Amino acid sequence: MIVVLIGYMASGKSTFGRILAKKLSYDFIDLDDYIEERENTTISDIFKLKGEIYFRKKETQYLTDILQTKKKLILSLGGGTPCYGNNMETVLNSKDVVSIYLKATIPTLVNRLKNEKAKRPLIAHIETDDLLAEFIGKHLFERAPFYGQADKIISTDNKTEKEIIEAILLELF
């Protein structure tokens, strides 16, 4: 089984993916890290040097490759991955794949992201919490139709790490 974690940035896809993989003795892949490794450069540099269209094509190619070749895997997608091309359709139609949307509210995401802005190029320029909330809200509105197609939806608000992992495991088994 492949478990695909989707959700907005800071929803916990990579954090919980690593914990889950360890608990289940599965491999873990963060798609963004995988792309950087394969392309031998950072995602920021891919966007700067080759453009978003190139990045999105590579993202789709690597996603498809992983879903066709891996087993016993936890795969964390980039926040935008499900929203481009046929990526969400690919996930939903892949054999032995379960998709889980780690859902967090705008206040939760603002709280998690406000001190990480420097590490996240997409939001580095946003100066206030109110503007960050507006930015996240707009993105979530656009992405909700894609995220909402996941096989399972787990709210991460006001839950401990242990509670979230337990909720995921209950949905899977």
Cite the annotated binding site for ATP by residue number: 10-15, 120
Binding residues for substrate: 32, 56, 79, 143
Binding residues for Mg(2+): 14
Q: Which phi and psi angles does 97 have, rounded to 5°?
A: -120, 135
- Tracing tokens 């996930």 back to the chain, one arrives at 91
Rounded Cα gap, residues 71 and 26, in angstroms: 8
- Tracing tokens 């802005």 back to the chain, one arrives at 117
Closest CA to 43 of 78, 10, 68, 14: 78
Q: Which phi and psi angles does 41 have, rounded to 5°?
A: -165, 170
Binding residues: 10-15, 32, 56, 79, 120, 143
Q: Which amino acid is at 31?
A: L
